[in-house]
Amino acid sequence: MFKLSEIKELIKLVDTTTVQELEIENEGARLLIRKPNKTESVVVTHAPVQPVQAASHVTYAPPVQQAAAAPAETATAPAAAPVADPAAGLHKIVSPMVGTFYAAPAPGAAPYVSIGDRVSEKTTVCILEAMKLMNPIEAEVKGEIVDILVENGQLVEYGQTLFLVKPE
- The predicted-structure confidence for 67-126, as pLDDT tens digits, reads as follows 554 444 444 444 444 544 556 789 999 999 999 999 999 999 999 999 999 999 999 999
pLDDT at 73 (0 to 100) = 47
Q: pTM for the full model?
A: 0.50
Where do the domains of the chain lie?
A: 4-61, 91-167
**What pLDDT digit, counting tens, does each position of 44-64 carry?**
555 554 554 544 444 444 555
Q: Which residue has the higher pLDDT, 130 or 54?
A: 130
Assess contact for 25 and 44: CB atoms under 8 A.
no
- Residue 161 has a CB neighbour count (10 Å cut-off) of 15
pLDDT at 116: 94
CATH class of domain segment(s) 91-167: mainly beta
- The three state secondary structure string of the chain is CCCHHHHHHHHHHHHCCCCCEEEEEECCEEEEEECHHHCCEEEEECCCCCCCCCCCCEEEECCCCCCCCCCCCCCCCCCCCCCCCCCCCCEEEECCCCEEEECCCCCCCCCCCCCCCEECCCCEEEEEEECCEEEEEECCCCEEEEEECCCCCCEECCCCEEEEEEEC
